[in-house]
Amino acid sequence: MRKTVLAVAVLIVAPAFAQEVKHAPTADQCRADYHLWFSKLENPHGTDAVTDAALGQWYSEMGDCVATDPAYEWHYVNAQAEICAQRQLRMRRFLIRHNLIQQYVVEDEAGAR
């Protein structure tokens, strides 16, 4: 009886912990996402509603796209550079907004990295 209850519990709980399988994007999906995202990255306020986590996902997908669609590699790498620039700008604004720039400079000069 205990083994049956345990087996049923495992069958019910295990799927809750299963991770979604990540599939590589197709070349068509890569190009469509590149054009959509790059148009947002080029617009001064185009990514205002996009979270940092989403930008990280964009970056990751563009990296996957390099392998999927090597003919468009330069575009994907360029998009990754723009995504990095956007994230760095946001971090700099955060440091300024919270008056942490000077602390960063002092610690960096002291070798804290």
pLDDT in tens, 72-83: 999 999 999 999
pLDDT of residue 113: 85
* Residue 88 domain-assigned (yes or no): yes
Question: Considering the domain boundaries, does residue 7 fall inside one?
Answer: no
Domain range for 44 is 23-109
Is 74 domain-assigned? yes
Q: Does residue 14 fall inside a structural domain?
A: no
To the nearest 5 percent, what fractions of the chain are helix, strand and coil?
A: 75, 0, 25
> What pLDDT, on the 0 to 100 scale, is given for residue 4?
52
Count structural domains, the chain.
1
Question: Helix (H, G, I), strand (E, B), or coil: what is residue 93?
Answer: helix
**Residue 1 covered by a domain:** no
Would residue 3 count as lying in a domain? no
Q: Measured between alpha carbons, how far is residue 109 from residues 94, 99, 103, 104, 106 in Å?
A: 20, 17, 10, 9, 5
Stated pTM of the model:
0.76
Within a domain: residue 5? Answer: no
Handedness of CA 47, 49, 51, 55 (dihedral sign): negative
| pLDDT < 50: residue spans in the chain | 5-11, 13
